[in-house]
């Protein structure tokens, strides 16, 4: 059974600031995450130095981060590649 998507407030706040073209690409990638998480365009991998935070590609310049639970992909952040630096800062808090 496919996992559901759950969105953090931070993810929602970032999403609405994205250009429309990036929102459309992200929507497609999130659909892939739910239906075929092994799809190569997602390029899913754990973020180094974190315990259980993953990164996926929207395109060459944009990324999204998430955690995996039994039922959900919990989406944390989306934005330019430097969101990975934001995840590094968040884990230190």
User: Does the structure show a pLDDT above 90 at 57?
Assistant: yes
User: Which pTM does this prediction carry?
Assistant: 0.88
Looking at the structure of the chain, the number of domains it has is: 1
CATH number, position 62? 3.30.2310.20
Interatomic CA distance for residues 62 and 45, integer angstroms: 15
Closest C-alpha to 54, from 25, 29, 31, 87: 87
Residues 33-50: tens digit of each pLDDT = 999 999 999 999 999 888
Residues spanned by the domain of 34: 4-91
Residues 58-79: tens digit of each pLDDT = 999 999 999 999 999 999 999 9
């Amino acid at each position: 059974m496919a996992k559901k998507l759950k969105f953090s407030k931070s993810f929602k706040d970032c999403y609405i600031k994205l250009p429309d073209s990036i929102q459309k690409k992200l929507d497609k990638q999130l659909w892939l995450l739910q239906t075929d998480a092994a799809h190569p365009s997602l390029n899913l991998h754990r973020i180094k130095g974190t315990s259980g935070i993953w990164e996926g590609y929207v395109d060459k310049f944009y990324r999204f981060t998430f955690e995996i639970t039994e039922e959900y992909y919990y989406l944390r952040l989306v934005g330019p590649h430097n969101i990975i630096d934001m995840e590094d800062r968040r884990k230190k808090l």
